[in-house]
Amino acid sequence: MGIILAVLAFCVGLKGQRAAETDARGAVPVSSAGGEAGGEYIKWVDLTISYEALCRAYAWDVETHGTDHEVNWIELLAYTAARTGAVFDAKALRILEEAAQKLSEGQTDRERIGEGLDHYPYYLEAYQAALGGLVGEYEAEVTDENGHTGWSRQYGLKAYFPLARGFDYSHYDDFGASRSYGYKRRHLGHDMMGLTGTPIMAVESGRVEALGWNQYGGWRIGIRSLDGKRYYYYAHLRQNYPFAENLEEGSLVTAGDVIGYMGHTGYSTQENVNNIEVTHLHWGLELIFDESQKESDNEIWVDVYPLTRFLAKHTQTAQKVEGTKEWVRETDMRDPLLEAVKREETGNGILR
- What DSSP line would sit under 136-204, residue for residue? EEEEEEEE-TTS-EEEEEEEEE-S--SB-TT---EE---TT-EE-SSS-EE--SEEEE--TTPEEE-SS
Buried-state track 102-111, b at ≥16 Cβ within 10 A, e below 16: ebbeeebeee
Least trusted range by pLDDT, from 5-19, 112-126, 152-166, 323-337: 5-19
Has residue 15 got a pLDDT over 70? no
Has residue 28 got a pLDDT over 80? no
Q: What is the pLDDT of residue 331?
A: 96
Tell which residue, 275, 277, 279, 255, has the closest CA to residue 267: 275
Confidence of residue 350 (pLDDT cuts 50, 70, 90): low
* H or E segment and range at residue 214: strand 206-214
Task: Flag whether 156 is in a domain.
Answer: no
Has residue 17 got a pLDDT over 60? no
pTM for the full model?
Answer: 0.89
Question: Residue 130 in contact with residue 302, Cβ under 8 Å?
Answer: yes
CA distance 181 to 173: 20
Are 211 and 265 in a shared domain?
yes
Compare 179 and 61 and report the one with higher pLDDT.
61
Task: Flag whether 204 is in a domain.
Answer: yes
Compare 147 and 181 and report the one with higher pLDDT.
147
Are 182 and 286 in a shared domain?
yes
Q: What is the pLDDT of residue 20?
A: 26
Task: Flag whether 306 is in a domain.
Answer: yes
Q: What is the pLDDT of residue 195?
A: 98
Are 85 and 223 in a shared domain?
no
Mean pLDDT on 148-161 = 96
* H or E segment and range at residue 92: helix 90-104
Confidence of residue 187 (pLDDT cuts 50, 70, 90): confident
The string of pLDDT tens digits covering residues 190-244 is 999 999 999 999 999 999 999 999 999 999 999 999 999 999 999 999 999 999 9
CATH number of the domain within which 206 lies: 2.70.70.10
Task: Flag whether 269 is in a domain.
Answer: yes
For residue 239, give its domain range.
170-344
- What share of the chain has pLDDT > 70, as a percent? 86
Task: Flag whether 244 is in a domain.
Answer: yes
The string of pLDDT tens digits covering residues 58-115 is 999 999 999 999 999 999 999 999 999 999 999 999 999 999 999 999 999 999 999 9
